Amino acid sequence: MTNLDERPAPERQKRVLQAAYTLFLRDGYRVSMGSVAREAGVSKQTVYAYFENKDTLFHAAVEQLVLPLHASLAPEGRDLSDTLQALAQAHHTHVMDHDNVALGRMLIAEAPRFPAAAKTFFRTAIDLIAARLARCMAEAMDQGRMRREDPDVAAELFLSMLHGLEGDRRLFGMRARGQRAQDEWARHAVTVFMHAYDIRSDGEARSNKKPGNGTEFS
């Protein structure tokens, strides 16, 4: 039988991350590096060779969790509506995942005891996605493909529209939307958002404004 510590480094690291994710879900943030090593079937030295401490291990596990969301925003520079639709689909898959919901519940419950872990999850899984989406929108604004507004506000607005109450429904164990209903919600959110930020909106508003409607000062 092959010693797991002798397997290729990428495989060992993957096993450690999967073991850590499993234990975080089962036992909360109180898990030890030793328990992660036992779950992964490697030595504690192997775990520490990849991750300095539990905080860095948790950060890496969360990064792996949100990779599909980041992937949906690449390549940057493509049609914005396509980007938003891809993000919507990846987001729905992320929200639908029972493990992700369980991890969110765990962090909410343990945030008072482990505030750093909760902040790590928020910054990695939410803040970075919002920041990257804001860069995509800023680029679209610079290229005249989107009405110029604050891109950070626009990104947060879209993510809020996309999320709706679905995450809360799952967090509290309520009945959630089915796949077809969620796909329709995502399409509607993209349509409404793109209409609100359509580059033609300002010009159309000005062209439709009749002389004398505004207050004039002499």
**Tens digits of residue pLDDT in 120-148:** 888 988 899 999 999 999 999 998 989 99
pTM exceeds cut of 0.85: no
Structure token digits, residue 86: 């891809």
Look at 129 and 215; give whichever has higher pLDDT: 129
Q: What's the pLDDT score for residue 205? A: 39
Q: How many residues does the chain have?
A: 218
Say yes or no to pLDDT of 199 above 90: no
Question: With bands split at pLDDT 50, 70 and 90, how would you rate the model's confidence at 152?
Answer: very high
Per-residue pLDDT of 77-94, as tens digits, reads 578 888 999 998 888 887
Angle, vertex CA 190, rays to CA 141 and CA 95, nearest 5: 115
- CB 90, CB 84: distance < 8 Å: no
